[in-house]
Amino acid sequence: MTSSSRQLLVTGASGFLGSRIVDLALHAGWHVRVFDRSLLTHNERVETFVGDIADTTLMRKACEGVTAVVHAAGLAHVFGRSAKDPKIFNAVNEVGTGNVVYAALKSGVSHIALVSSVSVYGPHNNAVSDETSPCRPLNPYAISKWKGELRAIECIAKNGGALTILRMATIYGEGDQGNVARLIAALDRGHFIWPGLGLNRKSLIYKDDAANACLRSLEAPVSGVRTFNVSSPAVTMRKIVTAICEELGRPAPRLRIPQSLIQAASAFAHKMGNNGQLYQQFQKFIRDDVYSGYKFESTYNFHPAVSLDEGIRREVNFLRS
C-alpha cells in the first residue's frame, strides 16, 4: 500500500482506544480522517467529521475516498439500570456498526477492521477460547457486540469487500474506565477483599498493543471475512493484583473470602430468584477468562510489546496524576 493510498477513517476517534489508533496511524504515515460524536481536541493533521454513526448520509460522506476504516466507535461501561437495557447497546453496537460497514462498502472502501470483544464468547471456565469456540453472549453489551459482528458479516455477504473482526481481550491503560481502573481504585482505597485464591487467569491487552493490532490488520490485502482474538498472554488475578499493589506502594490485601462460600451464596441467591450484581461480580472475578491470540500473532507476526507490569505502571501513574 503506497503512501498516497493510505487513507484511513477511524470512528470513535476521541475514545479510549480510538484516540490511540489515530496517534499511531499518524506516526505510521497514514492520512487520517476521524469520525466521532464529539471531538475534544482539534488536530490540524486530521480531517474531522463530527456526528452520529446513525447518520447514514454523513457516514457515507466521511467514507468517500477512504481506503480503510477502523470502526472503534461503540458503547461500553454503562452502569445502573441502563446497563440492562439491550436497546441502548443495540442502537450503537449493532445498528450503528451496520451503518458504518454499509457506508464504507458503498463508498468503495477496500478493508474494514471492526473492533469487537471477547465478551461475545460468554462466560466459560477451565478452557481457552479461540476463534472456533461458540459464541454464547449473555449480557446486553456482549449480545450487541455479537449482533454487530453479524450485521457486518451480512453486509459483506451482500456487497463484497474485506472485513477483519478483532475480538479484543480486556483493554487497559491510561484513560481506562473499565474493570482494571475500578480494581486499581478499590485497591488504592483499601476497599478490596480477595475472592478465592487469585489463581484463576485473565486475558488482558494494553491499549497501545490493541491499537497497533488494528493497524497491523490492515497491512495485508484480504477478501471476505476474517476473525481474530487479540490478547496478551493470560495472567493470574494474583499477578494482576500484586502488580497494582506494588505500583501503588500498598501491601496486597490479606482478607479473603473462600471460593466455596462465594459459590454457596451464589447458588442460594439463584435458588431464591435473586442473581444480585454483587454475586455476579464475584463470579466474574473468580472465573477464568482466557482467550488465545495465537491466530492473530501467527498471521501478522504480532507480539504485544507492553508487559503487564509496565502497562499497570502507566495506568496507575495516569490515575494518580
Q: Is the dihedral of CA 165, 90, 105, 9 positive or negative?
A: negative
Nearest to 90, CA basis, from 124, 35, 125, 53: 53
What are the residues whose beta carbons fall under 8 Å from the beta carbon of 53, sequence distance 6 or more?
11, 35, 59, 73, 92, 96, 97, 99, 100
**Residue among 102, 121, 141, 279 flagged as catalytic:** 141
Radius of gyration of the chain (CA): 20
What are the residues whose beta carbons fall under 8 Å from the beta carbon of 139, sequence distance 6 or more?
83, 119
SS3 content of the chain, % helix, strand, coil (to 5): 45, 20, 35
141 part of the active site: yes
Contact 105, 160 (CB under 8 A): yes
Contact 236, 201 (CB under 8 A): yes
Catalytic residues: 141
